[in-house]
Amino acid sequence: MFTKILVANRGEIAVRIIRACKEMGIETVAVYSEADRNSLPVAMADERICIGGKSAAESYLNQKNIISAAMACNAGAIHPGYGFLSENHEFAALCEANDIVFIGPKSQVMESMGNKDHARRLMKEIGVPVVPGTEILKDVAEAKALAEGVGFPLLVKATAGGGGKGIRVVNSKEELEQAFCTASAEAKSAFGNGDVFLEKYLTHVRHVEMQILADHFGNMVCLGERDCSLQLNKQKVLEETPCPVMTEEIRNRMMEAAMKAAKAANYTNAGTVEFLLAPNGEFYFIEMNTRLQVEHPITEEISGIDIVKWQIRIACQIPLEFTQADIQLKGHAMECRINARSTGKIDFLHIPGGARVHFDTALVQECEVVPFYDSMLGKLIVFANTRENAIRKMEAALCEMVIEGVATNIEDQLKLIRSKAFWQGSYDTLILPEILAEGK
């Protein structure tokens, strides 16, 4: 087992990883930007090293500084969390080249599955259904020539990255050129790769993902699905498990497809295979996230398996101690992402409590919410024996939560879970803006 791990992240996920390490008897090193000098993960870690200025480019994306910090403190491994460098195959390769274990898949696997075009072609080869679309496009002229064959509406989609960047919806041929140029430029700026392709834009579908754990000895399990359909501008807002419309037959087919995809990629560690689920029960592979997901805690709630601890064990070449037959998914869990809509000092903070209610966050009284990073303040997570009880528990927790000093989306989350579409479980990827617009 590692004796010391460097956490190459900030905020709530850094806190989450540090807690897991403490419970495993592993020392931790927090790296931080100048803006995060007084943050909770920096206070919690056994050691702390400043790696740069306030911006992400100066600090959390500064690969050389992070590697230097790991070597200076003799950390045997780096946990990247999510975001920042978590899916950067070049950073993973840099860790490998310096004999530092990257807690995640191998760099070659990250590179191949992080490229959506390559991943789509691999899925086609092994018989996993993909959304109809094209290969990488050379230019706008080729996009226009192939667009009619794909059919409108369609997506111009970057082959690299995620988080909704490098994606544009195109409703007609007249919109195609601008969407192509904008998506490509955005992807180039965000990921250093401007390659794009066309994909059929499926409507009234659900975004469902399968959580995978795979060790270095050929053992693999799937910990069930998460429904991530409730999104604004391609950003997830609320996730739940199990999916409200999932049947046992569809779940088994989707789990089989997810594990088939991971095995074909020679995948190890924690990963997520993402699908679009159509109303008729058909589903389509869209991508594989080669990292820990923001929404992993709800899977931990229903499975009883600590995904972060198993990431660390797998990276230490420890085999999984359970098989698929041992996985028992019980109850219902959901997560609301609490986001800031302004910056400033937290004047007053009250975190809700109760059985199986927790708030994963790095917020503390009088801490500063800075403008340099993602707006998520934390994740409110509840578990109950049924979906109805989970909804009622989440409503109570949201009503109890108080964050003063910055504007947040708590009221919008309340509006969402009180909506008829959410109670009925009849929502899809397009409905959230409609729910939030009601009554305005």
Please give the Cα distance from 246 to 227 (Å, whole number).
Answer: 9
Please give the Cα distance from 156 to 159 (Å, whole number).
Answer: 10
Please give the Cα distance from 133 to 154 (Å, whole number).
Answer: 9
Please give the Cα distance from 344 to 404 (Å, whole number).
Answer: 10
Please give the Cα distance from 311 to 290 (Å, whole number).
Answer: 12
Which of the residues are catalytic? 291
Please give the Cα distance from 433 to 440 (Å, whole number).
Answer: 11
354's tokens:
């109760």
**Is the separation of the CB atoms in 295 and 335 below 8 Å?**
yes
Q: Which long-range contacts (CB under 8 A, 24 or more apart) does 395-398 make?
A: 396/352, 396/354, 397/352, 397/354, 397/357, 398/336, 398/352
Cβ-Cβ contacts under 8 Å for 224 (sequence gap 6 or more): 210, 211, 241, 242, 251, 255, 299, 302, 303, 327, 329
Cβ-Cβ contacts under 8 Å for 266 (sequence gap 6 or more): 106, 109
- Rounded to the nearest 5°, which phi and psi values hold at 11? 65, -150
